[in-house]
């Protein structure tokens, strides 16, 4: 029977009388779903289990060999877990009565679960004592609800996971940073041990295993071996197929490379309108990822859309650095990135003060640069737009969990051992941990347990196309922004200048997203209170990526606006108006009056800079591990 087959009808009737409950229970469990949990070919199943055993032995051997080779060359506890959970243990020992109460509460809840399960087995109505959170996709298979055994497994797991996390959250005597790390890693532990991640306790995987006589596990182990080989001994989970080619399927907006230095290639895009605004638009994406998040497919390309609105668009494509650039500093990124980009745009268009966009860390660099320029009376930026970018890091989200002295020292050791760069896969692992169920465990189940290939998905292809970080720049960013919050405090030094955001007076547009876990909207909003020029703040639906890349044609999500900027974001939200669909049109309405008159459309090469090659350029093609 297939996974979605309808139950067969039976002619049995449940008799009334003393044995009616037993008969009802039998009828409830005697469903055709049982057919899906039977081995179809015992011989083939046995042969595949032997293959699984052999492959597993090889994987374990290779892993142990790899770990032995690395022993002594890497920090033993790079995430500082030992200290974190010692803090938890001390807090628990200090209040044993609270732990006893929590254990009693767990026992009581289990008794309630057993009682409801027994009642259901006797023919009673199915009742759930605990349900997955909205948006939890792990338990969507029908048997998590319809099959008594799997429903009990699901509820017992959720009950235990919720109890574990709530108990840890109530431990007294922890400083805020330790508490945050403990809660984060406790959730990581609970997510890792979910029944969905194991063959015998995931109904979809178990059915697939029995139906295919274990072929799914053989394929899954082959996928696992390929991922280990690709990661050179480290697990590099494939999130999508290699079905995309940069410049052919994605990053296809027509344009030219018009400038190149050690840090950026500057792309100028071809116009799609007869006239364009006089003042060009210069975009600085994050160098933590590649620029083409803003130019995935034609239908969701922010770059194509902006060109279609009449803007002359320039985009910085950051280099994927190797060890020779390890000593490039945050100041170098300002001078060879933003300043070099401004100079190139002036040569290409004759306009010295374009409108500028900074996305994520590119926005943090832009905010720092604006403060530096204000101190130098440099007015080469006419307006600034920030996509999901922070200047005040006092509430910077879960990434702060990875920032303390011990972890930063361990990170510095790893980067030095890697030739002065942070390898892309390490950065990717950190970001994936922030959404482990979606970006780690769902692929473990799909790729390794079900033995399937991941589906083609442009966004996940981009997410997997990682970049390296130069040591000096990355450590400065983590220490000065995430750890010390030096920019917001007026303590950050660049080029011998102490930066003061209150001197920034250019018009600013701040985009944030409701579910952003990397740049939380509460953190982004703080910029409204730091700068002194006119500011427009909007809140978009979705998260760090989909909240930004949301074209009007998609008619997805929503956004909120409020012309007032009270000190607290809660007050802003209370007075905000919700609008359906994309925020891009709101931004266009804000930017157009700042962009000057319309002129005949410029083409790449019309100015003093001649094309060096076609977009998307060469820097974006460099792969990282």
Mean pLDDT of 151-161: 94
Question: What CA–CA distance (Å, rounded) separates 459 from 305?
Answer: 18
What's the CA angle centered on 106, arms 79 and 163, to 5 degrees? 35
**In this structure, what DSSP letter does residue 338 have?**
I
For residue 385 the two structure tokens come to: 């737009």
Per-residue confidence at 247, pLDDT binned at 50, 70, 90?
very high
Lowest mean pLDDT among 464-468, 563-567, 568-572: 464-468
> In this structure, is residue 35 part of a structural domain?
no
Other beta carbons within 10 angstroms of residue 134's beta carbon come to: 5
Element (H, E) at 422: strand 421-422
Is the confidence at residue 437, as pLDDT, over 50? yes
Element (H, E) at 276: strand 275-277
Pair 221, 291 in one domain = no
> In this structure, is residue 478 part of a structural domain?
no
| pLDDT at residue 14, as a whole number | 35
Question: What CA–CA distance (Å, rounded) separates 428 from 420?
Answer: 18
All residues at 6 or more sequence positions from 511 whose CB lies less than 8 Å from its CB, including other chains:
385, 386, 387, 388, 524, 538, 540, 547, 548, 583, 587
Question: What CA–CA distance (Å, rounded) separates 180 from 80?
Answer: 13
For residue 25 the two structure tokens come to: 């229970």
Nearest to 273 by CA among 229, 241, 310, 323: 310
Is the confidence at residue 373, as pLDDT, over 80? yes
SS3 331: helix
Pair 202, 82 in one domain = yes
Neighbour-count burial of 385, counting CB atoms closer than 10 A to its CB (0-12 exposed, 13-18 middle, 19+ buried): buried
Question: What CA–CA distance (Å, rounded) separates 128 from 150?
Answer: 12
Mean pLDDT of 205-227: 94
Maximum C-alpha span of the chain: 95
Is the confidence at residue 389, as pLDDT, over 80? yes
SS3 387: strand
For residue 423 the two structure tokens come to: 């390898």
Strands (DSSP E) along 175-228, which ranges? none
Task: Tell me how far CA of residue 405 lies from CA of 58, 450, 475, in angstroms.
Answer: 38, 41, 11
Alpha helices in 328-477 (DSSP H): 330-332, 340-349, 361-375, 405-417, 424-433, 436, 442-443, 458-464, 471-477
> In this structure, is residue 269 part of a structural domain?
yes
C-beta of residue 403 within 8 angstroms of C-beta of residue 180: no
> In this structure, is residue 144 part of a structural domain?
yes
Other beta carbons within 10 angstroms of residue 564's beta carbon come to: 9
Other beta carbons within 10 angstroms of residue 219's beta carbon come to: 18
> In this structure, is residue 270 part of a structural domain?
yes
Per-residue confidence at 27, pLDDT binned at 50, 70, 90?
very low
For residue 358 the two structure tokens come to: 């900074």
C-beta of residue 246 within 8 angstroms of C-beta of residue 349: no
All residues at 6 or more sequence positions from 163 whose CB lies less than 8 Å from its CB, including other chains:
102, 105, 106, 109
Question: What CA–CA distance (Å, rounded) separates 21 from 337?
Answer: 75
Q: Of 196, 230, 264, at which residue does a domain stop? A: 230
Per-residue confidence at 38, pLDDT binned at 50, 70, 90?
confident
- What are 276's strand-pairing partners? 599
Per-residue confidence at 234, pLDDT binned at 50, 70, 90?
confident
C-beta of residue 511 within 8 angstroms of C-beta of residue 385: yes
| pLDDT at residue 67, as a whole number | 66
Q: Cα 211 to the chain's mean position, in Å?
A: 35
Per-residue confidence at 17, pLDDT binned at 50, 70, 90?
very low
Pair 276, 212 in one domain = no
> How many residues in the chain?
625
- Domain range for 131 is 42-230
Per-residue confidence at 13, pLDDT binned at 50, 70, 90?
very low
Pair 224, 318 in one domain = no
Pair 163, 264 in one domain = no
Pair 213, 263 in one domain = no
Q: Of 230, 265, 280, at which residue does a domain stop? A: 230
What is the percent of the chain where pLDDT is above 70? 92
Is the confidence at residue 513, as pLDDT, over 90? yes
| pLDDT at residue 74, as a whole number | 66
> In this structure, is residue 439 part of a structural domain?
no
C-beta of residue 269 within 8 angstroms of C-beta of residue 275: no
C-beta of residue 375 within 8 angstroms of C-beta of residue 505: no
- What are 493's strand-pairing partners? 498
Is the confidence at residue 547, as pLDDT, over 70? yes
Return mean pLDDT, the chain: 90
SS3 386: strand
Pair 46, 91 in one domain = yes
Pair 138, 283 in one domain = no
Mean pLDDT of 163-172: 91
Report pTM. 0.88
| pLDDT at residue 10, as a whole number | 36
> In this structure, is residue 83 part of a structural domain?
yes
Hey, CA dihedral for 539, 590, 313, 262, is it positive or negative?
Answer: negative
What's the CA angle centered on 326, arms 623 and 620, to 5 degrees? 25
Number of folded domains in the chain?
A: 2
Mean pLDDT of 598-607: 96
| pLDDT at residue 260, as a whole number | 98
315-357 tens-digit pLDDT = 999 999 999 999 999 999 999 999 999 999 999 999 999 999 9
Catalytic residue, chosen from 360, 391, 615, 624, is 360
Q: Which residue has the tokens 């350029």?
A: 617
Nearest to 268 by CA among 619, 610, 621: 610
For residue 494 the two structure tokens come to: 């660049």
Is the confidence at residue 33, as pLDDT, over 60? no
For residue 565 the two structure tokens come to: 């900027």
Pair 225, 265 in one domain = no
| pLDDT at residue 95, as a whole number | 81
Is the confidence at residue 9, as pLDDT, over 50? no
Element (H, E) at 577: strand 577-580
| pLDDT at residue 229, as a whole number | 85
> In this structure, is residue 24 part of a structural domain?
no
Q: Of 197, 230, 263, at which residue does a domain stop? A: 230
| pLDDT at residue 595, as a whole number | 98
For residue 247 the two structure tokens come to: 């410049």
Q: What is the CA radius of gyration of the chain?
A: 28
Is the confidence at residue 585, as pLDDT, over 90? yes
Mean pLDDT of 45-50: 90
Element (H, E) at 392: none
Mean pLDDT of 289-295: 96
481-504 tens-digit pLDDT = 999 999 999 999 999 999 999 999
C-beta of residue 560 within 8 angstroms of C-beta of residue 549: no
Mean pLDDT of 236-258: 93
Question: What CA–CA distance (Å, rounded) separates 252 from 268?
Answer: 13
Lowest mean pLDDT among 20-24, 181-185, 362-366, 578-582: 20-24
Pair 125, 55 in one domain = yes
Return the CATH number at 360: 3.40.50.1820
Is the confidence at residue 232, as pLDDT, over 80? no
Pair 46, 135 in one domain = yes
What is the percent of the chain where pLDDT is above 90? 69
74-100 tens-digit pLDDT = 676 777 888 888 888 888 888 888 888
Is the confidence at residue 548, as pLDDT, over 90? yes
Tell me if residue 360 is catalytic: yes
Stronger pLDDT, 54 or 569, i.e. the higher one: 569
Pair 200, 341 in one domain = no
């Amino acid at each position: 029977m297939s996974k979605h087959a309808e139950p067969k009808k039976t002619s049995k009737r449940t008799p009334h009388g003393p044995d009616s409950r037993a008969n009802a229970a039998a009828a409830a469990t005697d469903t055709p779903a049982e057919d899906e949990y039977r081995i179809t070919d015992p011989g083939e199943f046995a042969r595949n289990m032997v293959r699984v055993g052999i492959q597993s032995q090889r994987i374990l051997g290779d892993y142990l060999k790899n770990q032995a080779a690395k022993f002594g060359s890497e920090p033993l506890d790079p995430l500082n877990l030992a200290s974190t959970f010692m803090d938890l243990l001390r807090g628990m020992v200090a209040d044993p009565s609270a732990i006893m109460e929590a254990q009693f509460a767990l026992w009581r809840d289990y008794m309630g679960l057993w009682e409801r399960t027994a009642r259901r087995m006797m023919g009673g109505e199915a009742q759930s004592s605990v349900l997955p959170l909205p948006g939890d996709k792990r338990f969507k298979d029908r048997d998590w609800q319809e099959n008594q055994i799997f429903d009990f497994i699901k509820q017992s797991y959720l009950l235990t996971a919720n109890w574990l996390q709530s108990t840890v959250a109530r431990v007294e005597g922890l400083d805020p940073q330790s508490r945050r790390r403990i809660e984060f890693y406790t959730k990581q532990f609970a997510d890792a041990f979910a029944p969905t991640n194991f063959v015998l306790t995931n109904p979809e995987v178990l059915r697939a295993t029995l139906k295919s006589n274990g072929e799914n596990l053989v394929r899954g182990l082959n996928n696992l071996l390929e991922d280990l080989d690709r990661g050179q001994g480290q697990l590099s989970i494939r999130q999508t197929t290699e079905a995309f080619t940069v410049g052919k399927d994605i990053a296809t907006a027509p344009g030219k490379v018009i400038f190149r230095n050690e840090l950026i290639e500057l792309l100028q895009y071809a116009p799609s309108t007869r006239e364009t605004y006089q003042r060009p638009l210069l975009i600085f994406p994050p160098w933590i990822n590649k620029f083409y998040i803003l130019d995935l497919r034609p239908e969701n390309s922010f770059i194509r859309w902006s060109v279609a609105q009449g803007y002359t668009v320039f985009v910085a494509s950051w280099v994927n650095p190797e060890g020779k650039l390890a000593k490039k500093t945050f100041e170098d990124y300002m001078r060879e990135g933003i300043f070099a980009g401004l100079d190139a745009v002036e040569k290409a268009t004759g306009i010295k003060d374009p409108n500028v966009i900074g996305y994520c860390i590119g926005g943090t660099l832009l905010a720092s640069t604006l403060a530096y320029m204000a101190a130098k009376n440099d007015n080469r930026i006419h307006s600034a737009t920030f996509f999901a970018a922070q200047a005040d890091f006092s509430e910077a989200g879960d990434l702060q969990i990875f920032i303390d002295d011990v972890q930063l020292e361990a990170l510095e050791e790893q980067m030095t051992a890697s030739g002065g760069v942070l390898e892309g896969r390490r950065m990717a692992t950190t970001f994936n941990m922030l959404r482990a169920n979606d970006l780690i465990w769902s692929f473990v189940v799909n790729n390794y347990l079900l033995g399937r290939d991941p589906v083609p998905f442009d966004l996940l292809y981009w997410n997997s196309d990682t970049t390296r970080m130069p040591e000096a720049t990355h450590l400065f960013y983590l220490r000065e922004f995430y750890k010390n919050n030096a920019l917001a405090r007026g303590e950050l030094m660049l080029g011998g200048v102490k930066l003061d955001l209150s001197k920034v007076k250019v018009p600013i547009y701040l985009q944030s997203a409701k579910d952003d876990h990397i740049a939380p909207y509460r953190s982004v909003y703080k910029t409204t209170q730091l700068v002194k020029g006119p500011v427009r703040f909007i809140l978009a639906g979705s998260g760090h990526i989909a909240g930004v890349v949301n074209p009007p044609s998609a008619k997805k999500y929503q956004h909120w606006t409020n012309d007032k900027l009270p000190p607290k974001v809660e007050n802003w939200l209370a007075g905000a108006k919700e609008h359906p669909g994309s925020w891009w049109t709101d931004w266009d309405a804000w930017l157009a009056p700042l962009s000057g008159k319309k002129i005949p459309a410029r083409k790449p090469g019309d100015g003093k800079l001649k094309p060096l090659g076609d977009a998307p350029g060469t820097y974006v093609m460099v792969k990282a591990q």
